[in-house]
């Protein structure tokens, strides 16, 4: 369970050029095994550190004018690869509440929503407009309720599932949603046992 999603997220963005940045780039397996704060400290390690551990001059997260950014702009198929949830938790741990990309790995997309991160999908051409604006240090604004991204004078709509939107807005993961609906589930089970008692008897007698 995460904290409720902000009404508006407004900030400059960190921009990642390149497509197919996979979960092993976001959280390399050695850091997953190490665990703890290494997941965040070494997130995107191949893009930030050299083989000797020194910081790279090309580190996209080191720009002093983008410190504290809550928005990450990425390329096609972001978060592809293995299903490790640590990739989404690391993105959230770095302070990002929104990722903007043309497409995502399906499991990474789902894990973002479970960890309080809004993954915004845009068409490739629209994503490129947003990327160019963000690279110029323009401030982006994202509103979950209205499902809108503001980029300068341009307002861009985006899609998100109704239930996913509700869960994100309220800071609920799958387990939190189930707990919230426990009374309704109990009522359903009770009614079902009355209508189909043979099903419950068969289950109990196994």
Look at 196 and 159; give whichever has higher pLDDT.
159
Say which CATH number the domain at 142 has: 3.20.19.10
In angstroms, rounded to a whole number, what is the distance separating the alpha carbons of residues 87 and 79?
A: 8
Number of domains in the chain: 2
- pTM of this structure: 0.85
122 with 24, same domain: the answer is: yes
Domain limits for position 73 = 8-172
- Per-residue confidence at 203, pLDDT binned at 50, 70, 90? low
What was the pLDDT predicted at 135?
A: 97
- With contact defined as beta carbons under 8 Å apart, do 121 and 128 qualify? no
DSSP state of 80: B
Q: Per-residue pLDDT tens for 89-133?
A: 999 999 999 999 999 999 999 999 999 999 999 999 999 999 999
Choose between 96 and 186: higher pLDDT. Answer: 96
Contacts for 99 with CB less than 8 Å, ≥ 6 apart: 71, 72, 73, 74, 78, 91, 112, 117, 118, 119, 120
Determine whether 26 is exposed, middle or buried from the number of CB atoms within 10 Å of its CB (0-12, 13-18, 19+): buried
Considering the domain architecture, whether residues 84 and 150 belong to the same structural domain is answered as yes
Q: What is the pLDDT of residue 72?
A: 98
| 191 token code pair | 């009614």
Does one domain contain both 151 and 104? yes
Average model confidence (pLDDT) across the chain: 90
Query: In terms of domains, do 114 and 178 share one?
Result: no
pLDDT higher than threshold 60 for residue 205 = no
Q: Are residues 167 and 188 in the same domain?
A: no
Q: What is the pLDDT of residue 115?
A: 93
Judge if 119 and 202 occupy the same domain.
no
Burial of 164 (0-12, 13-18, 19+ CB in 10 A): middle
**Domain co-membership, 183 together with 157:** no
**At 121, is the secondary structure helix, strand, or coil?**
strand
CA–CA distances in Å: residue 45 to residues 42, 73, 134: 5, 17, 22
* 118 and 180 fall within a common domain: no
Express each pLDDT in 76-91 by its tens digit: 999 999 999 999 999 9
Note the pLDDT tens digit of each residue in 122-181.
Answer: 999 999 999 999 999 999 999 999 999 999 999 999 999 999 999 999 998 766 565 665
Residue whose pair of structure tokens reads 């008692």 in the numeric block: 197
**pLDDT for 3:** 86
Look at residue 34 in the predicted model and tell me its pLDDT. 94
């Amino acid at each position: 369970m995460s904290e409720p999603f902000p009404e508006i997220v407004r900030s400059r963005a960190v921009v990642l050029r390149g497509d197919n940045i996979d979960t092993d780039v976001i959280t390399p397996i050695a850091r997953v095994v190490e665990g703890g704060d290494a997941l965040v400290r070494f997130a995107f390690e191949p893009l930030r550190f050299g083989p000797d551990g020194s910081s790279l001059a090309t580190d996209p997260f080191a720009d002093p004018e983008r410190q504290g950014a809550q928005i990450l702009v990425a390329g096609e198929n972001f978060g592809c690869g293995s299903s490790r949830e640590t990739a989404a938790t690391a993105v959230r741990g770095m302070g990002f509440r929104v990722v903007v990309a043309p497409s995502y790995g399906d499991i990474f997309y789902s894990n973002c929503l479970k960890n309080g991160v809004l993954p915004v999908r845009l068409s490739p051409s629209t994503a490129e407009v947003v990327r160019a604006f963000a690279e110029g240090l323009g401030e982006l604004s994202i509103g979950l309720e209205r499902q809108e991204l503001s980029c300068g004078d341009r307002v861009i709509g985006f899609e998100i599932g109704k239930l996913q939107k509700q869960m994100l807005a309220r800071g609920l993961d799958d387990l939190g949603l189930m707990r919230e609906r426990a009374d309704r589930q109990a009522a359903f089970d009770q009614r079902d046992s009355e209508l189909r008692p043979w099903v419950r008897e068969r289950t109990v007698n196994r």
